[in-house]
Amino acid sequence: MTLTRKNFLVSASSFAAAVGLDPAAFAAAGTNPFRKLDLAALRKELRAFYPDESHGVCKDPRQPASVKAIGDALDEWAAAHPGYDALDVRREEYLLVRKHFVPFLFKESPFYFEAGVNGGWCYTSTSVPGRHVNRLCNRFYREQGLIPDAAFDLLWGRAGQRLLVCCGPFSDDMHHVPAFRTILTKGFKGVRDEVAAALEACPAHDPLGKKELETALVGLDTIHCIQLKFHEAAKEKVKGLGEGEERRNLLRIVEASARCPWEPPKTFFEALNALWFIREIPAYVDGLDQFALGRPDAWLIDFYRADLAAGRLTVEEARELVAAFLVTSDCHLDTARVVDSFDDQEAEMPLTLGGCDKDGKPVWNELTEMFLDLHLACDCVFPKLHCRIAKDSPEPYLRKIGEMLMAGHAVFALFNDDRHVAQFVARGFRPELARDYICAGCWDSYVDSWTDVDCANYTSPLRILELTIHRDPEVERKCRLKIDPIDGLTSFEAVRDTLYRNFIRFYRDVLSEYTRYGRANAKVFPHPVYSMCLEGGIRSRRDTMDGGVAFRPRIVTLAFMANVVDSLAAIRQLCFVDKTCTLDEFLAAVRSNWAGMRGEELRQAALRAPYWGDDSSVTNGLMKAWIDRVADETDLYRNDQGGPYVLACWVYREFLYWGEKTKATPDGRRDGDRLAQGFCPSEYRCNVGPTTVLNAIGTLDHSRFFATNANLSFDKAAMSPETFAAVFRVVCRKDMHLLQPNCLSVEELLDAQVHPERHRDIIVKVCGFSARFVSLSKRWQDEVIARHKLK
């Protein structure tokens, strides 16, 4: 039987038991599987509130009006106080939030947390007031000489030339992770008490520390005020309501919001709601992008079991809460809209499931299964499911993921516990902390409440290779590059080493610029509340961007390494081993975009050369040597926080968009062809199965990386849940960081292009995000269809 969403539910006996309903009735078309929760009504209400795209403004006019009122008042205050600094204006913003904040409660939703942050994608001051501080303080870059205009011009010029990506000016100010465990354990009040004690003991010689703590106190009190606004709004809204689900939801909110999460949660509902509150409200007041939703199966299982035992909760009620939790995430944008541009349909809402507990025991419990089953049953694209796996993960857990993939539900990033836990222990974290890491963004891991990682810093060795071959003196001048030619070189080693020197000169310059200017962001865009919730913030009395937290590494990504290795391997094979042509003849063919009969002959020869992923000694050796050399270089530098730079190897949508602008390369690519993703083999080269590819990736020393990804597509006809479970264990044994799997049938995808109404439930992993296949634009659909399917 071909697995689909419906018959998967019918076949999942454990899920049917948890539901407490007849499986056939549950799966029947048009049947609402929930006793009280009306999913269709909830979706309709939430979609009427949230914007349709990632960076839109909430549709309820009260939300942008409240943000505008805060922004206007901040502008007036700034005009009246010309000597302000960033902490001054942040304090004023906190106070204005208390006055203008609008608490949003929904008729169909049981939760209270919504401020209109739009899922953490708060790039502009129209989304959240916290970003208005950045806008007002940007002038400090020039006035205080924090970063010269020439440095900005160089940074953005390099980004525009596809040499790098930095998600912020010299510092990634996007990819933060909420301090979940801190608040679940202490509540915001516990943090406030510790800040007040630190302020009392603050030495007189640290006026900046005193001001940071004072500002944080105002912000924490603002969070309490926001919580109480939800409390009062629910009390008012419940008046006059007759018996029904809306009244029950509001009464529960009235009770819980009187104390939580100012105080730690005491029930499953409070803890589940707190995950949303902790993610959204600090993001609102501090202007953060917070990209995680925590580990509900690991952290909430004791609440769940205690509530069941005490009779405060039933399994059915828990299911409805979890379903509403998941659907809320899925409604933050319209997943039916066409995906074509760089960051449309991106809701950075990863949910961490599975893995192990603080003692190293596998986490595979009632909540793990409930979240997985309901994600499929509710037909969710978001939240992203970041599932932690290990060599010894329970077989039913791995098979469950395989079943969902077979059902066309490719929403997973699979994090290898054996690698991630080990790397945090190696960095000095106690094992119990390392084992509690959470997953964030697209492929990052963080030790919860202890780390704030500066992670989105891409560099492109392939762009340096492109400029080495297709010379562009104007780009070299504007981007401060020194590119030595490879024309006329008489050995492969000379070609390889010249390319490496060209890249490493650029790479050193990038790191030195980041170190020189990265810390300036703390004087423009401080996050006092968030910083004090992280380990080290209170003790240091400093912002997270000012050396305040326990561990803030800076991650630097090497993009498109497979294309670099394949290009080197082709030059080696054609010019120095087989001597099919001279190096200059080969370079001429590449520069001509493989024009003419001779050009096509050389292109076909290049495509037959060894390639990354074939597990040959040639390409394994080239990749390992390059990585080791760059990693050794990276280890020599300290970042602007005094922490390490660490390598990564991943790529977001740039593999298509940058590929469209990249000229022909020696690996056989033509002008505009897509590039390789992460550690995946090039789609133009791979003709082997998963064992060979995984063996190749496994030859690398993954301890040199903070994170890597492999986006691999598997042929649906050749797979089964058991086969997937076996593949997942191999990934862990090979010490890989991350697998993002697709399970594809070309026939189904081609039919979906013709009959999209029949295939709305097919979800594919595009890169760091998933989307409905029928929502992808034609060029993205064609790209997914063309991917090599591993058998």
Tens-place pLDDT, residues 284-303 = 999 988 889 999 999 999 99
| CA distance linking residue 769 with residue 778, whole number of Å | 17
Q: What is the pLDDT of residues 759-770, one digit of tens each?
A: 999 999 999 999
Q: Which residues pair with 551 in a beta bridge?
A: 451
Q: What is the pLDDT of residues 81-117, one digit of tens each?
A: 999 999 999 999 999 999 999 999 999 999 999 998 7
- Beta strand pairing status for 770-772 and 763-765? antiparallel
Domain boundaries, the chain: 34-145+178-290, 146-175+449-643
CA dist 173 to 283, 458, 536, 714, Å? 12, 14, 19, 35
CA angle 364, 365, 367 (to 5 degrees): 115
Find the farthest-apart pair of alpha carbons in the chain and give their distance in angstroms, rounded: 87
Contacts of 41 (CB under 8 A, 6+ apart): 107, 108
- Beta strand pairing status for 738-744 and 412-416? antiparallel
Q: What is the pLDDT of residues 417-431, one digit of tens each?
A: 999 999 999 999 999
Are the C-beta atoms of residues 780 and 773 closer than 8 Å to each other? no
Q: What is the pLDDT of residue 121?
A: 60
Residue 173 token pair: 């100010």
| CA distance linking residue 239 with residue 657, whole number of Å | 54
Average pLDDT over residues 146-174: 93
pLDDT band at 2 (very low <50, low <70, confident <90, very high): very low
Contacts of 26 (CB under 8 A, 6+ apart): 9, 10, 16, 19, 33
Q: Give the rounded distance of the alpha carbon of 621 from its chain centre.
A: 30
Contacts of 264 (CB under 8 A, 6+ apart): 183, 184, 185, 186, 187, 190
Q: What is the dihedral of CA 309, 312, 314, 316, to 10 degrees?
A: -150
552: region left, alpha or beta (phi > 0 left; psi from -120 to 50 alpha) = beta
Helices 561-571 and 492-517, interaxial angle, to 10°? 160
Q: 203 preceded by cis ω (within 30°)? A: no
Residue 494 token pair: 């000379």
Q: 110 preceded by cis ω (within 30°)? A: no
> Is residue 421 within a helix (H) or strand (E), and if so which, with residue range?
helix 417-426
Are the C-beta atoms of residues 156 and 169 closer than 8 Å to each other? no
Q: What is the pLDDT of residue 13?
A: 40
Least confident of 7-16, 226-235, 431-440, 541-550: 7-16
| CA distance linking residue 594 with residue 665, whole number of Å | 10
> Is the model's pLDDT at 476 over the cut of 70?
yes
| CA distance linking residue 712 with residue 742, whole number of Å | 6
Residue 691 token pair: 């064992």
| CA distance linking residue 722 with residue 479, whole number of Å | 51
Using only the alpha carbons of the chain, give its radius of gyration.
26
Using alpha carbons, select from 182, 209, 270 the residue that is nearest to residue 546.
Answer: 209
> Is the model's pLDDT at 151 over the cut of 70?
yes
Burial of 54 (0-12, 13-18, 19+ CB in 10 A): buried
Which 8-state DSSP code applies to residue 551? B
Are the C-beta atoms of residues 257 and 230 closer than 8 Å to each other? yes
Q: 383 preceded by cis ω (within 30°)? A: yes
pLDDT band at 128 (very low <50, low <70, confident <90, very high): confident
Provide, rounded to the nearest whole percent, the portion of the chain with pLDDT above 90: 86
Strand ranges for 138-271 from DSSP E:
164-166
Residue 645 token pair: 């730079």
Are the C-beta atoms of residues 324 and 42 closer than 8 Å to each other? yes
Secondary structure (DSSP) of 673-731 = -----TTPPPTTT--S-HHHHHHHHHTS-GGGEEEE-EEEEEEGGG--HHHHHHHHHHH
Q: What is the pLDDT of residue 684?
A: 82
Q: What is the pLDDT of residues 506-551, one digit of tens each?
A: 999 999 999 999 999 999 999 999 999 999 999 999 999 999 998 9
Q: What is the pLDDT of residue 118?
A: 65
Strand ranges for 300-383 from DSSP E:
350-354
Q: What is the pLDDT of residue 127?
A: 73
Which 8-state DSSP code applies to residue 576? I
Residue 40 token pair: 């269709």
Average pLDDT over residues 724-745: 97
What pTM, to 2 d.p., does this model score? 0.95
CA dist 588 to 322, 470, 564, 591, 665, Å? 60, 10, 18, 5, 11
> Is the model's pLDDT at 338 over the cut of 70?
yes
Using alpha carbons, select from 98, 144, 117, 140 the residue that is nearest to residue 55.
Answer: 117
Residue 651 token pair: 């790529």
pLDDT band at 173 (very low <50, low <70, confident <90, very high): confident
**Average pLDDT score, the chain:** 93
pLDDT band at 57 (very low <50, low <70, confident <90, very high): confident
| CA distance linking residue 47 with residue 331, whole number of Å | 6
290: region left, alpha or beta (phi > 0 left; psi from -120 to 50 alpha) = beta
Q: What is the pLDDT of residue 17?
A: 43
Average pLDDT over residues 740-762: 96
Q: What is the pLDDT of residue 12?
A: 38
- Beta strand pairing status for 457-459 and 738-744? unpaired
